[in-house]
């Protein structure tokens, strides 16, 4: 191994270590004191509930752990968006679990909380996954009600989805393990089956104080909407549980009896580990995002037996298209090649840039995978499409549009891993969030933006200095450097994978060694949902 490998390895392992530390902090939710207060009421935390519910010898992946990070600081913050979402197994059956974290503002819903809940429901709908709601929430966070209440993708969409999912035959089970108030009270009742924990769970449209103020009736919350009331008088809930563990065990028993699904039929054989050591990814991936490397070496450490069959290997080499297997599942890989390559005319092409020939190749490959019913895996490290007169005259816009069209209309499940750069239209063509990947995860080395921090700072600096000069200000070299550093610092913060994850532009930031698990579990989930329409590119310019 050379000195660069060792430097890269040190850098990337530090990024992985930072990820572990940040995840550990996020796992504390509202903090240790609030966790202890929660325990004093005889209640488990959201994460403890999920851990108890899921099979402990099976893998699980978390969606949106960093959601809300750095947001709402003026309101005290909102770790993980105040809700924990995991995909795992209950009695061997793959499910998605959504649990309100009552240690964060009593589980109140911020705008990002609604977005995260809707993402969980979207995953359930796309994959026909049973969904379990562990409810413990004070409802909408009133100081921000205008950003969560009335719009299409706001709070009310949750209940609309409940109804749609029920009509689709997707199992929904809700356990009321704490507060469940106002509009939020509809969620468990719109689920197939609802449980409530005695003494700690409650459901009502208005609590005792509001009832007193509205109609003058004096009543305590337990009599108004506790477990006994709803299991024995109103009939709103179906099961009365003595404590959290009893409720979770009941859910396990219900899930264990759900019938089998009809597989979509994605091809799978016995899984094999990569022959090349996956740990070497840390040394192969460069420390700096502009440095070159061979993406094929990354692929060898992700796929079974480190084997893949390249499609059009000698053509359009700035994108790698290949058939492979990941944990036994057949996949079609579309990956940005990050080293200098030669085109068909013998001209050098920059790594990470999409050229006309590579866009054309990717379009054909995506069509082939759709015809063969093979899930697609996109490995992003892309700076964008090639610019300049030569590319424009060669029809780069047309060829890029064909690729975007193919990605948009693909009917097989798509999975995206952002390894490095994810800039501009390259993000779109390589199946960014707007193109409906079933799951999209980023490595700690990822950067997502319109362009790199350095390039963006130069462009913004030109605009800023021109504006200041118009105002009569003299721009010295020192002033220009100060402005550049200020602009770049702000932009660099926005291209961080944590900034993207906080806003749910990606589902998670993951250790590169977790990539195979994410893709395998994602395909297993997708295998439960039928492909409901044929692949059709529509009208495109050939």
- Residue 19 falls inside a structural domain: no
In a domain? residue 264 = no
Considering the entire predicted model, what is its pTM? 0.94
Same domain, 405 and 479: no
CATH for 226: 3.90.226.10
Query: What stretches of 350-490 adopt beta strand conformation (E)?
Result: 353-354, 376-382, 384-385, 414-423, 439-442, 447-449
Provide CB contacts within 8 A for 264, sequence distance 6+. 373, 526, 527, 528, 529, 530, 531
Strand-pair partners of 334? 321, 378
Same-domain check for residues 409 and 463: no
Element (H, E) at 542: none
Number of domains in the chain: 3
Q: Is the domain of 207 the same as that of 314?
A: no
Q: Are residues 482 and 515 in the same domain?
A: no
Same domain, 374 and 429: yes
On whether residue 535 sits in a domain, the answer given is: no
Q: Are residues 291 and 228 in the same domain?
A: no
Range of the domain at 465: 452-495
Report the pLDDT value the prediction gives residue 390, as an integer from 0 to 100.
74
Same domain, 131 and 207: yes
- CA dist 455 and 260 (Å) reads 52
Domain assignment present for residue 21? The answer is: no
Mean pLDDT, contiguous 10-residue spans, the chain (542 residues): 91 98 96 94 96 96 97 94 98 97 92 96 98 92 85 89 96 95 82 95 84 87 89 93 97 97 96 98 94 96 98 94 98 95 75 90 97 98 82 76 94 98 93 97 93 71 79 79 80 90 97 98 97 84 54
Q: Last residue of some domain: 208, 224, 256?
A: 256
Report pLDDT for 422: 94
Residues 52, 170 within the same domain = yes
Euclidean distance between CA atoms 97 and 88, whole angstroms: 8
Domain boundary among the residues 224, 256, 288 is at 256
Secondary structure (DSSP) of 117-159: HHHHHHHHHHHT--EEEEEEE--B-GGGGGGTSSSTTSTHHHH
Residues 36 and 176 in one domain: yes
DSSP state of 232: I
Segment (H or E) for 335 = strand 329-336
pLDDT for the residue 171 = 97
Given the DSSP bridges, would you call strands 172-181 and 131-137 parallel, antiparallel or unpaired?
Answer: parallel
Helices (H), 54-110: none
338: in domain: yes
Q: Is residue 76 part of a domain?
A: yes
Residue 537 lies inside a defined structural domain of this protein: no
Q: Are residues 349 and 430 in the same domain?
A: yes
Do both 381 and 466 map to the same domain? Answer: no
CB atoms within 10 A of CB 26: 18
Residue 269 in domain: no
Q: How far apart are CA 114 and CA 82, in angstroms?
A: 10
Residues 379 and 424 in one domain: yes
């Amino acid at each position: 191994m050379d000195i660069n490998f060792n430097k890269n390895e040190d850098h990337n392992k530090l990024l992985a270590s930072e990820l572990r530390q940040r995840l550990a902090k996020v796992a504390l939710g509202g903090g240790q004191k609030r966790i202890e207060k929660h325990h004093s009421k005889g209640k488990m935390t959201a994460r403890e509930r999920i851990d108890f519910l899921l099979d402990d010898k099976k893998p699980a992946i978390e969606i949106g752990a960093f959601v809300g990070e750095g947001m709402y600081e003026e309101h005290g913050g909102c770790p993980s968006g105040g809700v924990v979402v995991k995909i795992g197994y209950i009695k061997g059956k793959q499910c998605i679990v959504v649990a309100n974290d009552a240690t964060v503002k009593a589980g109140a819903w911020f705008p990002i909380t609604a977005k995260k809940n809707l993402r969980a429901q979207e995953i359930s709908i796309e994959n026909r996954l049973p969904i379990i709601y562990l409810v413990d929430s004070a409802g909408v966070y009133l100081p921000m009600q205008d950003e969560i209440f009335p719009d299409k993708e706001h709070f009310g969409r949750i209940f609309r989805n409940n109804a749609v999912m029920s009509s689709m035959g997707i199992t929904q089970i809700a356990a009321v393990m704490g507060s469940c108030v106002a509009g939020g009270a509809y969620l468990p009742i719109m689920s197939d089956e609802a449980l409530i924990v005695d003494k700690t769970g409650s459901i009502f449209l208005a609590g005792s104080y509001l009832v007193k103020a509205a109609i003058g009736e004096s009543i305590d919350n337990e009599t108004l909407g506790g477990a006994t009331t709803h299991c024995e008088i109103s009939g709103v809930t179906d099961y009365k549980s003595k404590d959290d563990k009893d409720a979770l065990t009941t859910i396990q028993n219900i899930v264990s009896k759900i019938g089998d699904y009809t597989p979509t039929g994605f091809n799978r054989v016995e899984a094999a580990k990569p022959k090349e050591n996956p740990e070497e990814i840390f040394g192969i991936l460069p420390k700096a995002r502009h440095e070159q490397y061979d993406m094929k070496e990354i692929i060898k450490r992700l796929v079974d037996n480190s084997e893949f069959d390249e499609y059009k290997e000698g053509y359009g080499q700035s994108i790698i298209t290949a058939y492979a297997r990941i944990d036994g599942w057949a996949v079609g890989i579309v990956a940005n090649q990050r080293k200098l390559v030669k085109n068909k005319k013998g001209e050098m092409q920059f790594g990470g840039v999409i050229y006309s020939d590579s866009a054309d190749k990717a379009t054909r490959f995506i069509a082939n995978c759709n015809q063969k019913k093979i899930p697609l895996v996109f490995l992003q490290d892309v700076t964008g499409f090639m610019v300049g007169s030569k590319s424009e005259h060669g029809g780069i816009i047309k060829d890029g549009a064909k690729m975007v069209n193919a990605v948009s209309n693909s009917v097989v499940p798509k999975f995206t891993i952002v390894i490095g750069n994810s800039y501009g239209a390259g993000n779109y063509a390589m199946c960014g969030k707007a193109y409906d990947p079933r799951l999209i995860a980023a490595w700690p080395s990822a950067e997502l933006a319109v362009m790199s921090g350095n390039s963006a700072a130069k462009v913004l600096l030109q605009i800023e200095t021109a504006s200041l000069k118009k105002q009569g200000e003299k721009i010295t070299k020192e002033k220009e450097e100060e402005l550049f550093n200020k602009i770049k610092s702000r932009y660099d913060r926005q291209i961080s994978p944590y900034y993207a994850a906080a806003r749910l532009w990606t589902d998670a930031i993951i250790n590169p060694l977790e990539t195979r698990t994410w893709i395998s579990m994602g395909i297993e989930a997708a295998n439960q949902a039928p492909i409901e329409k044929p692949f059709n590119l529509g009208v495109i310019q050939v």
